[in-house]
Structure 1
């Protein structure tokens, strides 16, 4: 049963259609109104052209809508986010340009996601960097995978609207892992969690944290905006504390939850490859990815 549900979910990952139910939710969560949406997009596009602070690789309605949704249709805020997004892409071209998308399947279990996608939680994304062996590939590959996951995810109108809750599980992290973390990598990860991309971060929860990882968080702290700190929660090893913020229905069994509709990044990306269509390939190539068979 779970396998069947997951397969349906995987196939829906490439769905870019907007249902009436989604549009109702967009009004509630994103301040999006059908009778003013077109005017907001037109105003946004004019601001981009007039100010010339960035030069996006796309300017169509669907692309601009992602930025408006994540900034609750406040055009100047959406514009500032787009400027940061374009600057991030320009500064770190190597994270996507010429990257073989399907080669990133090697990241496997370092990322995991549940596909319940509740409006109050969004999609639960789990970072398990302790599952990564630094001897297999450099930390930069994790960042590339994170960027690919973001770009694919925000194609979906559903995820544009409901956003993501992030669970950072530090179990298995050693000093060998921490040694690979540079200020640049920390900055890139923070950017990919919503600072410089059109993704709505609902909240971030950190578990299995110990004092030995203070250096790990010091690097991140420098780059996290002040207004984001009220969405970051440290739980140590206390699952009951985590359960106060995330419903058991949304958590995998390892965290005391009941959700079985989860998949590793490697499995998820392989399913995206299986169900992709020409439009998906076209958009990912436009971003800069290589789409090898």
Structure 2
């Protein structure tokens, strides 16, 4: 896919970074496939490319990749309400963007822009925001060979009324799915145009993000500080970048979603069959927050 393609040089540099060869990748993918064949609860139609991307996202570690493959099919089934009806999403008509940039950073990261399109707090819906996030991440998992993602979250137009719709339980589920099911490596979260109540926003981030990830949250007071991490060619024109404008890129993502409509429909059913799992299985913390988070309040 053109919007997510990487060059042969970038691929070579990524492999060099992890000190692994293409031959070794193929050999290890075969090992993972052999393991998968002994897991009757997992779907049969798992492609080599899909396994290879999970492998990359887990730093080419075989055992971790097995765990994350299992998580992908199991956690999506457990949180099926968040991955239902993804085929009906039209990115350009959503109230917010979750927009991957076509060009990788020099560190081979994929920049994702989150920005309110419709600033009306009445249409702001946390669950729909998460579903857009997961839908885009599904596509990335099919085509993207970056080493991780770096978010730019633009809070322009974000009000206290928007904030009241943030649900820490849903946000935590989203983080769990992104990290543990989709093997997403969060390289950084850059916040721009933060409002006066920024401390409340950061307070919620601190609740739902692991400390290691929270430490990657940065407040960028200017575009110049953004450019230090991501060159202009990795950003849309709205941020002084040389990529297309956000609207034009979103229209291209509309086409991608339309082309993948059947994929979303079929993939919704492509989950673990727990009654076929060959060993005893106890749900861990990966399977969602307990009642503790229901009692949270934000000062």
Interval of TM-score (by shorter of Structure 1 and Structure 2)? 0.7 to 0.9
Q: Return the offset for 1:207.
A: 1.7
**How many Å separate the matches in 2 of 1:42 and 1:112?**
33
Q: Which structure 2 residues correspond to residues 18-97 of structure 1 after superposition, within 5 A?
A: 20-21=8-9, 23-48=11-36, 55=42, 58-97=45-84
**How many Å separate the matches in 1 of 2:150 and 2:223?**
16
2:164 to 179, 202, 205: 179
Is contact 2:104-2:146 (8 Å) kept?
no
Listed as ranges, the gaps of 5+ residues in structure 1 are 1-10
Is contact 1:122-1:162 (8 Å) kept?
yes
**How many Å separate the matches in 2 of 1:232 and 1:83?**
29
User: 1:137–1:170: structure 2 CA closer, same or farther, 3 Å change rule?
Assistant: closer
**How many Å separate the matches in 2 of 1:178 and 1:144?**
18
2:210 to 222, 225, 234: 225
Which whole-Å deviations, capped at 9, do the CAs of 1:141-192 have from their partners, x for residues lacking one? Answer: 1111111111112211xx2234322101112111111111111221144245
Q: RMSD between aligned alpha carbons?
A: 3.3
Equivalenced residue count is 268
Is contact 2:237-2:246 (8 Å) kept?
no
Is contact 1:146-1:192 (8 Å) kept?
no
Match of 1:197? 182
Q: Which TM-score applies when normalising by structure 2? A: 0.74
Which whole-Å deviations, capped at 9, do the CAs of 1:40-60 have from their partners, x for residues lacking one? Answer: 12332344566x697357433
Is contact 2:99-2:114 (8 Å) kept?
yes
Q: Which structure 2 residues correspond to residues 158-169 of structure 1 after superposition, within 5 A?
A: 159-169=144-154
2:251 to 254, 267, 281: 267
Match of 2:278? none
User: 1:106–1:92: structure 2 CA closer, same or farther, 3 Å change rule?
Assistant: farther
Provide the secondary structure at the position in 1 that maps to 2:122: coil
Determine whether 1:287 maps to 2:267: yes
Match of 1:12? 2
